[in-house]
């Protein structure tokens, strides 16, 4: 029997696992935002039928959860910093940078509890930085307060960035950027304080304002730590 007689071996389907699926989904999201992630497109990128993915996830939402957890791995600092303050600052900045790399993360941040392995590891590392410093409750309050801050701040930053991008770039968050509408509103005189802020305010770059606010919040936490709660 010659080669010509024998049929080719059947093409086995591309092997699949969650890792590959998540990687494909992240690639799509990086390129076109969260809305570019569809079960069908992820599958196509893996040369698979859409339904095949449902062996690995049971819902599209779960795919998002996996994506977030994957990025948490980027956030987890490689070495444990000594100081709690450093730990929180680094966590905040790493989260911000991860979000700048993966803008879609802004849409998901804080949207669901992060209970994946990497998410838990990040939380663990953060809590560990407070070991022996105060009671658990104060630690929780501290971590939650700081993370609430940076989640909110990152969301706003990305929101502004997108808005600027959508209207043709500009340095000033508001005014020229958002074009005639805001300008017109301010011109009505109904928003004097706002107008003053827009016209007299200095343009600070996003990173600086992020870091400044973060320092304020960290100061606040520090103040509560030295004087343990009543």
Partner DNA sequence: ATTTCTCATATACGGCGTATCGCAACGGTA
Partner DNA sequence: TACCGTTGCGATACGCCGTATATGAGAAAT
Structure tokens at 176: 């020229």
Residue from 123, 122, 5, 112 nearest 65 by CA: 112
Residue 8: partners with Cβ closer than 8 Å, 6 or more residues away: none
Residue placing its CB nearer to DNA in the complex, 52 or 93: 52
Inter-residue contact 91 to 154 (CB < 8 Å): no
Residue placing its CB nearer to DNA in the complex, 50 or 228: 50
Q: Is 20 in the site for DNA (CB under 7 A)?
A: no
121's contact among DNA, a copy of itself, none, with CB below 5 to 8 A by partner kind, is: a copy of itself
Residue placing its CB nearer to DNA in the complex, 47 or 83: 47
Q: Is 55 in the site for DNA (CB under 7 A)?
A: yes
Kindly tell me the burial class for residue 30, based on how many C-beta atoms sit within 10 Å of its own C-beta (0-12, 13-18, 19 or more).
middle
Among 32, 50, 111, 228, binds a copy of itself (CB under 8 A): 111
Residue placing its CB nearer to a copy of itself in the complex, 42 or 150: 150
Q: Is 127 in the site for a copy of itself (CB under 8 A)?
A: yes
The footprint of a copy of itself (CB under 8 A) covers: 107, 109-113, 115, 117, 120-121, 123-124, 127-128, 130-131, 136-137, 139-141, 144-145, 147-153, 155-156, 159-160, 162-163, 173-174, 178, 181-182, 185, 190-194, 196-197, 200-202, 204, 209, 212-213, 216-217, 219-221, 223-224
The footprint of DNA (CB under 7 A) covers: 10, 12-13, 16, 37-41, 48-52, 54-55, 59-61
């Amino acid at each position: 029997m010659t080669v010509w007689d024998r049929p080719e071996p059947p093409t086995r389907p591309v092997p699949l696992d969650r890792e590959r699926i998540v990687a494909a989904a992240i690639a799509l999201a990086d390129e076109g935002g969260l809305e570019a992630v569809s079960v069908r497109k992820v599958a196509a990128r893996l040369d698979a039928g859409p339904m095949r993915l449902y062996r690995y996830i049971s819902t599209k939402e779960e795919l998002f959860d996996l994506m977030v957890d994957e990025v948490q791995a980027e956030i987890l600092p490689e070495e444990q910093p000594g100081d709690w303050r450093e730990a929180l600052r680094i966590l905040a900045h790493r989260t911000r940078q991860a979000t700048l790399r993966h803008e879609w993360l802004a849409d998901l941040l804080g949207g669901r509890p992060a209970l994946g392995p990497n998410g838990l590891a990040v939380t663990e590392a953060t809590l560990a930085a407070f070991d022996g410093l105060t009671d658990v409750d104060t630690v929780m309050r501290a971590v939650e307060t700081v993370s609430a801050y940076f989640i909110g701040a990152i969301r706003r930053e990305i929101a502004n960035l997108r808005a600027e991008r959508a209207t043709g770039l500009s340095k000033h968050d508001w005014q020229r950027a958002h074009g005639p509408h805001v300008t017109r509103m301010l011109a009505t005189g109904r928003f004097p304080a706002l107008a003053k802020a827009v016209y007299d305010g200095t343009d600070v770059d996003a990173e600086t304002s992020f870091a400044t606010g973060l320092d304020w919040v960290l100061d606040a936490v520090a103040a509560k730590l030295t004087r343990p709660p009543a």
